[in-house]
A = this chain, B = another copy of it.
Amino acid sequence: MALVIQKYGGTSVGNLKKIREVAKRVAERADQGDQLVVVVSAMEGETDRLLEMAYELTDQPEGREIDQLLANGESISISLLTLALHSLGYKAKSLTGRQVGIITDTHHTNARIIRVDADKIRRTLEEGFICVVAGFQGMSPSDDVTTLGRGGSDTTAVALAAATGAEACEIYTDVGGVYMADPSVVPEARRLEAIAYDEMLELASLGAKVLHARSVEFAKRYGVPIFVKSTFGGGQGTMVVEKQPGMEEVTVAGVTSSKDQAKVTILGVPDRPGVAALIFEAVAEHHVVVDMIVQNVSEDGLTDISFTVSRNDAVRTQELMRKLAEEIGARDVSLDTGIVKVSIVGAGMRSAPGVAARMFRTLADEGINIMMISTSEIKISCIIEEQHADPAVRILHKAFEEDAPAIGGEADTS
């Protein structure tokens, strides 16, 4: 008898009809004799409904209250799915993040799991129940409700898999797998049969929405294999696992883009030692995460320094830099939010020369200008104008797909 963790997202439980369908899928699996823990998100639209009310009441809602508020979305879903399972004649019990023993730090709206006490879940499974668990939520040591950030239900599922020693963690989505590019942008995108944790982690961090980045981190750390599958269709799905010697190596596993980018440029910075340090110390002090940095070649002792931050931090960072610019005698500060980061990711890049050149050439041939570049061992990212985002993903997918193992056909978005 295997223990399986399944996770269904908000669109999979978007209304009562879909909840009944999910219950049937879960029931079929239970009939096979497996023990089941089913993690669910809030019904589609519910989180937004709650957030809108909060923001109507105050511009800057406190994290603790937002978490207390949003957690209700998932808590509603678990009871409804449990009742649907009861109506099919199955023993099931709903459990909140707290009841299931998910202890997090106190970083509200984006908490990290620090411990999972799996006793309750084990006991409940042993009593013959299907456990229906609220994703996205946990409890801090001070007894406050916390949430794990958007997409956090994936992390709940993987964390429970790790804590219970489950055989597998199955993440059910609309698109039914991980694709070389977002199928809503590139309809003919290839489905990947398997992808390594590191590649998936980069893709998720760089904007691919199929899995929550932290869930992949967790899976890698605890060696939990993730299977991304289709909720209602069939299909093979994608396996996210540790890179194995026998695994076919592709140069580029994925192409993705992220619009959560803003570029701050400080113009006419006196080019003397310690100025860059001053700038990024000031940014770090305000807990703003900087992604890419470019410093122009100095002219007449003056230089321009550009860096990218999350759009949420853009205005605040600009203000911060304006103050600093006065102090250090820089000319001006500009802000550009009309940009996007397009990235290619693949473990095979390490051994395949010329991948970067091919990326730049592909974009250039399409008349797309590259504003900033950053690279790591297994990814290359370029900042381009926002309007070019989707065309760039399409042409890069086309340019590199020949390197991918031909396993998928079309995207099975059924």
Segment with Cβ contacts to B, from A68-76, A275-283, A397-405: A68-76
CA distance A62 to B58 in the complex (A): 37
A76 engages B84 (CB within 8 Å): no
In the complex, A278→B87 CA distance in Å? 35
Asked whether A57 lies within 8 Å of B76 as measured between CB atoms, the reply is no
Q: Which of A32-40, A48-56, A384-392 contacts B (4 or more CB under 8 A)?
A: A48-56
Q: How far is the CA of A68 from the CA of B16 in the complex (A)?
A: 17
Cβ of A16 and Cβ of B86 under 8 Å apart?
A: no
CB neighbours (8 Å) of A19 from chain B are 57
Identity of the chain B residue whose Cβ is nearest the Cβ of A67 in the assembled complex = B79
Q: A50-B76, A76-B50, A99-B143 are in contact. Are A57 and B83 (CB under 8 A)?
A: yes
A62–chain B nearest beta-carbon distance, Å = 6
The one of B53, B75, B93, B96 in contact with A16, judged by C-beta atoms closer than 8 angstroms, is B53
Q: Is A146 an interface residue (CB 8 A)?
A: no
From known contacts A56-B16, A57-B16, A86-B58, infer whether A75 and B72 are also in contact, taking CB-CB under 8 Å: yes
Q: Are A62 and B86 in contact (CB under 8 A)?
A: yes
A68 to B183 CA separation, bound complex (whole angstroms): 37
Number of interface residues of A (CB under 8 A): 35
- A65 within 8 Å of B by Cβ? yes
User: Complex formed: what's the CA distance from A62 to B87 in Å?
Assistant: 10
User: Chain B's nearest CB lies how many Å from the CB of A135?
Assistant: 15
A76 and B86 in contact (CB under 8 A), knowing A16-B53, A16-B57?
A: no
Residue-wise interface mask of A (81-103) relative to B, using a CB-CB cutoff of 8 A (1 in contact, 0 not) = 01110110000011010010000
- Given A65-B94, A68-B94, A143-B99, residue A58 in contact with residue B75 (CB < 8 A): no
CB-CB under 8 A for A79 and B65, given A16-B53, A143-B99? yes
For residue A187, CB closer than 8 A to chain B, the reply is no
Given the complex of chains A and B, what is the CA–CA distance between A64 and B94 in angstroms? 9
- Give Cα A79 to B70, complex, Å: 9
- The answer to whether A76 and B69 touch (CB under 8 A), given A57-B20, A58-B86, A87-B58, is yes
Copy tally for this chain in the complex stands at 2
In the complex, whether A80 has a CB less than 8 A from a CB of chain B is yes
Nearest chain B CB to A100 CB, angstrom units: 11
CB closest chain-B residue, reference A145: B96
Q: Are A80 and B68 in contact (CB under 8 A)?
A: no
A141 at the interface (CB under 8 A from B): no
Q: Is A87 a contact of B143 with CB atoms below 8 Å?
A: no
Most chain B C-beta atoms within 10 Å of own C-beta, residue among A57, A66, A87, A94: A57
- Most B CB within 10 A of own CB, among A19, A54, A83, A120: A83
Q: Taking the nearest CB of chain B, how far is it from the CB of A406, in angstroms?
A: 44
- Cα A71 to Cα B19 with chains together (Å): 20
The reply to whether B79 and A75 form a contact with Cβ atoms under 8 Å apart is no
Is there a chain B Cβ closer than 8 Å to A78's Cβ? yes
Of B65, B94, B99, which is within 8 A of A86 by CB?
B65
8 intermolecular pairs with C-beta atoms under 8 Å apart? A20-B57, A57-B83, A61-B83, A65-B86, A66-B79, A68-B75, A68-B78, A99-B143
Nearest 10 Cβ contacts at the A-B interface: A69-B79, A58-B87, A72-B72, A57-B83, A65-B79, A68-B79, A57-B84, A58-B83, A65-B82, A72-B75
Q: Which residues of A contact B (CB under 8 A)?
A: 16, 19-20, 50, 53-54, 56-59, 61-62, 64-66, 68-69, 71-72, 75-76, 78-80, 82-84, 86-87, 93-94, 96, 99, 120, 143
